Amino acid sequence: MSIMSKVLRLAGALIVLGVIVILAIMFVPTQRTPVQAQIASDDVVVASSGEYVSRLGDCMACHTVEGGKPFAGGYSIDSPLGAIYSSNITPDPEYGIGNWTLDDFRAALYDGIGKGGHRLYPAMPSANYRKLSEADIASLYDYLMNEVEPVAEKAPETELPFPFNQRWGLRLWDWVAYKDAGFEPRYNDPVLDRGAYLVEGPGHCGACHSPRTALFVQSGYNAEDSKFLTGGVIGGWYAQPLRGSNSVSAYWDEAQMVSFLKTGRNAHSGVAGEMTAVVSHSLQYFTDEDLTAIAKYLRHISVDTESSPRVLNVEAEKSTAAMLLAASPDMELGARLYLDNCNACHFSAGRGADGVFPELVGNSMVLADEQGGFLDVILNGAEMPSTATRPSRLRMPGFRERLSDDEVAALASFVRQAWGNNAGPVTAKTVAEVRATTSK
């Protein structure tokens, strides 16, 4: 068979495959949601104000640009397909959702379908919001329509390259990604069920903290899926696992977890990257009861939390601390850079200071296979959010102007392998890539 014949046969096969896909998309149901998704137990969904529901769902973080008007949209969300801009969800009738009915609003949250059948990109976590109760949906709708100031500003249009700009193609993705709407309590414990509802539904924790399939579909939407909340990657940052023996849920106690969620810091760690905005706009406003419910749920679904203490290498910690304290002129470059730039805050034992400087020993961001977040912090610094209970803005300076790519690689490699940490080295090439794609 000639090469031309093979090419023609391949082209024909691709055309047939394309027709099959198009027909499949045409006949995929446009909506799989009941008009209302009720929750069976009143203990799970307490009476919440619409403003509080907006905090639970973190609506402000994505629908408000820094320094912009609340909920006016225009926030750029990085995705594998390109930049996706959030929409104006103020009650302005022309540029916002002022002429949306409750049914229109529910369809957007549950099915990712805007008014008139306009499909929303999955940057909108509809696959998670499908678990929202009707009470919370109605309350949120009332808040946005009657308490938020209308903003007559058009948000930037999302312009993705072909074929991703063909939104009708999202019908097939939605069909694969979306599960049945509604939330079913399953723990016979109102506190655990409330925690599950908050994590799986409005809090949409799985959107960042769960891995994604090849189709970018979230792996699991509740604890019955073994991959749910086992860690993910967002914008080059590692979103640590929230369940399992290697997660913070297994060795932070309930009080430490609540402190981290409410203030962005605790005795072991501090937030950085995308999680900073989540604490600032959302988690700090949760009631203590809701934060406790989340902590209880995450510890409940983790593996043997009561008998899985944090595994530490005490001898390796002492050895590294002694080496740093000796300050020998013959010590390796990474250790010398640590003494010059990091030791004043994180100290020779790598333990930092409770609620002020995060630990480096066993730190999940430090040890992550995805090195982008750790290198971003070294290059550009990081700032813990100011919250009502911890208003101080603690900032780590960046070292992009002070250290070369080779020096950052040496420093990062040292931290990833000191005090018993056991992670692979960092290359100057990786540092250069992060430097080029992150801002000062």
pLDDT digits (tens, 9 = 90+) for 3-51: 444 444 544 444 444 444 444 444 455 555 555 555 544 555 555 699 9
φ/ψ of 245, rounded to 5, equals -70, -20
CA distance 204 to 195: 12
Letter for the amino acid at 172?
Answer: L
For position 393, what pLDDT does the model report?
Answer: 85
Domain residue spans in the chain? 50-184, 196-307, 314-437
What tokens does 397 get?
């300076």
Angle between helices 314-326 and 333-341 (to 10 degrees): 80
Most confident of 200-214, 384-398, 406-420: 406-420
Question: Pairing relation of β-strands 76-79 and 82-85?
Answer: antiparallel
For position 17, what pLDDT does the model report?
Answer: 41
Contact 281, 71 (CB under 8 A): no
Mean pLDDT of the region 404-418: 97
Distance from the first to the final alpha carbon of the chain: 58
pLDDT tens digit string along 306-332?
544 556 688 999 999 999 999 998 899
Letter for the amino acid at 322?
Answer: A
pTM: 0.85
For position 307, what pLDDT does the model report?
Answer: 46
For position 251, what pLDDT does the model report?
Answer: 82
Mean pLDDT of the region 159-168: 62
What tokens does 143 get?
């808040």
Kindly tell me if the per-residue pLDDT of 359 is higher than 60. Answer: yes
* Topology of the domain comprising 314-437: Cytochrome Bc1 Complex; Chain D, domain 2 (1.10.760)
Kindly tell me if the per-residue pLDDT of 253 is higher than 80. Answer: yes
For position 112, what pLDDT does the model report?
Answer: 87
Kindly tell me if the per-residue pLDDT of 145 is higher than 60. Answer: yes
CA distance 195 to 149: 31
Kindly tell me if the per-residue pLDDT of 255 is higher than 80. Answer: yes
